[in-house]
Chain A
Amino acid sequence: MLDCTPKEITERKSGGMINPAKTCQPIGAMYAALGIHKCLPHSHGSQGCCSYHRMHLTRHFRDPVMASTSCFTEGSSVFGGGANLKASIQNVFHIYKPDVMAIHTTCLTETIGDDVSSIIKTAEVAADKLVIHANTPSYVGSHITGFSNMTKAMVSYLAKNTLPKKKEQANIIPGFVNPGDMREIKRLVQSMDIEYIMFPDTSGVVDSPMTGEFQMYPEGGTTVEQLKDTGNSQLSLALGRFASSDPADLLNKQCGVPAAVLKTPIGIKATDALLMTLRNSFAREIPKELEIERGQLVDIMTDTHFHFHGKTVAIFGDPDIVTGLTEFVLSLGMVPLHVLTGTPGGSSNSAAGSFEDDINEMLKGAGIEANVKSAGDLFTLHQWIKNQPVDLLIGNTYGKYIARAEDIPFMRVGFPILDRSVHSYLPIVGYQGAMRLIEMISNALLDRADRDAKDEDFELVM
């Protein structure tokens, strides 16, 4: 397995990727758009883009992912995609009847410079229908950038400040996480008795129930009314800087809604931070049930600390998720040796901050020296592991090849997970999500210990 990857690391300067740890913007935009109620995402580009994105999202969620395409040919690439997009808008509303059509661009339409905004303005759209768009050039950022850009488009097109006084209401921008995570975050906020609008919200869309009937537009998703009302909220909580801080910033600029940028609430510290922000901003005490959950989590962490304390780990995936996971494994006393994201990491000065700075800061606090990289690839991660082996690899499905090559336990977290099911329904966020993560970490490590134990060392109780 991966026998062509040498242990010896030679510096690569080309800027090319070998076994990438990111994909392109449009898929993130498509996923975000699914989080609008009765919305059909539309890919303005070649058919292949739309097909690939639908395939990958469908494989991850194991649920229908509907989206349309402008079906570019060479002619439209030369003469511009205006005619294709206008025809698409007409056909989509006539045939598929969404309330909203959310268009994202592709590298093709960005390269030829299609002015989507102007095309939409001159297209025929019924009064009760809505077309929004985001520019998502595939050659900038990653799928996380695309998710952020489409979420920003929801704000720029829809958010309005219509009231003299802000409502006692929170905007929750969950970032590129699973519907199970979105549900859990909503449960936390609800249990604190705080009014909120989550956007985008893919719960109820890509985890829809089996009823014997196919619904093109399932019940979930943020409604257009809610999206408009985000401008009236008292506070925006951007969970995960890379996926969520830009739309929150825009809401602030556009409607004067202040933003709190927090980590994706993975693990005890980030969940504490989310609840404390809610508590202090809305003057609501943390309810008993959440305090009990937290106590249970700490109880588990204490009871089983010897299962994972001191174990070395490599983590890769999307920056917000990896940041949360790194913080949590540190809380468990584990030792992250390699931490990598494929998404370009911004810089210390950018709005999203620097992934590498964030991780290094955490590691410094724990007194750990590790390999940390943004805009990295899995070839690099594999070479790191060859030179400095770890007890556990955490990441999306693509990690399984490295795990097999190096014979290390592997725990699947993040996007995409293409070879296991149920993951998108169950949270990794909040205290309950943290319990689930501990279970996954412990199982991975203990299954390996059981597999490798000699008969005489094979234990009933561990």
Chain B
Amino acid sequence: MGMNEAKLQEILDQYPAKVQKNRKKHIFIKRSDVESQQIEANTRTIPGIITNRGCAYAGCKGVVLGPIKDMVHIVHGPIGCGYYAWNTRRNKAKSDDPKQNFINYCISTDMQESDIVFGGEKKLTKVIDEVMEIFNPKAITLSATCPVGLIGDDMGAVAKAAEAKHGVQVLSFSCEGYKGVSQSAGHHIANNILMEKVIGTGEQEEAPAKFPINLLGEYNIGGDGWEVERILKEIGYHVVSVMTGDGSYEAIKNAHTAELNLVQCHRSINYIAEMLETKYGTPWLKVNFIGIEGTIESLRNMALYFDNKELTLKTEAVIASELARIEPIFEQYKKICAGKTAFCFVGGSRGHHFQNLFSELGIETLLAGYEFAHRDDYEGREVIPTIKTDADSKNIPHYTAEVDEKRFRLKVSPEKLEELKAKIPLGEYKGMRFDMKDGSIIVDDLNHFETEEFIKALKPDIFTSGIKDKYVIQKMGINSKQLHSYDYSGPYAGFNGAVKFAEDISMGFASPTWNFITPPWKNQPLLEGSVTEEGVA
């Protein structure tokens, strides 16, 4: 059973006219016989729609800043925002200096009514003073919540005064929840300031080891980043910094020393990769460490870039030994998964990346989409110049990187760069649409109503999404897997991650629990026999 335009229209017809008109632009059925298929993305969700989206604060503090372990992150606002972004995202971190690992701490100004009325700047200042006294961190971030911008607290001024007083960097992020249209706005707010004020402030002029790289857009959910680092280190790369999973302020300061930037989550950080190229001359490579093939391809592309015989040989040796180790295990799970179908709806880039893993397991992705992506994540980077800026994105401060005269250095010659670009995705991403089969559905900002309708129409065997959907889907008797938190498992990246993922979703398919949904008495009459005029015989 597939989806066609008529069936899609039937689903959309159930909406009020205005909603229908809007949602129609966010959904298309993939056709490769047309050159482009435009989707509307990164625009407002309609009020009243049960969306999966969060807010700018969630993207800024929750996603990008939170994982940086050696900074204290202060949330300026009423208690809830700090509370919900505390240890809930599985961005794992470990530190050689436990006294400078603040990952398990939640610090909030806990604004009260009087702070809303009279302003919260004084309280924020006092909280910073206390944080310095108790924790003595090397740097602090301040994240704004909705009321802060509305009452006009000048967090920037508080941060500046605190820097002067305490002699550490205090970064202020105006990531009020109403900014932009989703978490994406918050990623931009966070990353722009890290770019402007942290990256490049380290003293190192050169990386301490050969083949230095940064891993951008890797948040170390369930230890993904550690698995990627394990492989990279084995091959001989030096990981300068990770942004921001298990990230550290100290490392990010020296991110300018990398020879290549790897971009895992295109959505949240591609613009920083561009800026790093402008400022320091470091090219970026789109990688995908989700899936065995994706991992191998990414490693080979990196080897092509560095063009070093020893590194290339080691790359192939590591790939061969990893494959020999995992393939027999992976094959077992393929038997359980082959022929199944999936929906894959996740936040930014995972909605695309995990389709590779599904495909390697013999699972076809029928529907995919992103919660907070932009058009380029669907259609490819070539559409970026055509994306119109609307009122909602205009209010996110723009940062333009300029050449760092002292530290700019071409990492490869322009001729070599062009040659490489023909072979590997340097500064390039083709988007989700490119990899999807004809007839599959692509949906932006999928909502609850559509989730139910598409499930009824296409009956997938597995739906990968987030916690808000998870139990809705399971109630329908369909295997459901969280791809934000990995259902508390992982890692799912790299070679070990592929096996772990295969094991986990196979477990979902193979669980005996599905057999118990229908009680035995539903299929068996209470009394055997026939009803006669005198009663039951």
User: A residues touching B (Cβ–Cβ < 8 Å)?
Assistant: 1-4, 6, 10, 12-20, 22-24, 26-27, 42, 45-49, 51-56, 58-59, 62-77, 84-85, 87-92, 94-96, 106-108, 110-112, 137-140, 142, 208, 210-215, 342, 401
Contacts and interface: CB of A to CB of B under 8 A. Distances in A.
A51 B467 CA distance: 10
Given A46-B177, A51-B58, A213-B475, 15 more contacts: A4-B134, A15-B109, A20-B79, A48-B54, A48-B57, A55-B84, A70-B48, A72-B146, A73-B392, A88-B48, A91-B47, A91-B49, A107-B145, A111-B151, A211-B517
B462 interface: no
Interface stretch (B96-104, B240-248, B312-320): B96-104
Interface residues of B, number: 88
A71 B395 CA distance: 16
Given A14-B130, A69-B51, A73-B392, A55 B14 contact: no
A68 B50 contact: yes
B509 interface: no
Given A48-B177, A49-B55, A91 B151 contact: no
A90 B18 CA distance: 11
A4 B48 contact: no
A351 to B, nearest CB: 18
A59 to B, nearest CB: 6
Contacts of A70: 47-48
23 contacts: A16-B126, A16-B127, A19-B105, A23-B83, A23-B84, A42-B48, A47-B177, A47-B182, A55-B88, A55-B466, A55-B468, A66-B472, A69-B50, A70-B48, A71-B47, A89-B48, A95-B49, A96-B50, A107-B116, A111-B146, A138-B77, A139-B113, A208-B475
Contacts of B45: 47, 71
Contacts of B80: 23-24, 26-27, 49, 52, 107, 138
Nearest to A215: B475
A210 B58 contact: no
B108 interface: yes
A16 B78 contact: no
Contacts of B44: 71, 73
Interface string B143-183: 00111011100000000000000000000000011111110
A16 B123 contact: yes
Q: Which of A46, A55, A66, A92 has the most CB of B within 10 A?
A: A46
Contacts, number: 263
A139 B55 CA distance: 19
A20 B108 contact: yes
Interchain residue pairs A-B with the least CB separation, the first 7? A48-B55, A24-B80, A91-B48, A88-B48, A14-B126, A46-B177, A138-B78
B476 interface: yes
Q: Which of B52, B100, B107 has the most CB of A within 10 A?
A: B107
A212 B476 contact: yes
Contacts of A108: 146-147, 150, 177-178
A65 B52 CA distance: 12
B449 interface: yes
Given A3-B99, A15-B110, A94 B116 contact: no
B477 interface: yes
B448 interface: yes
A84 B79 contact: no
A226 B16 CA distance: 32
B486 to A, nearest CB: 14
B53 to A, nearest CB: 5
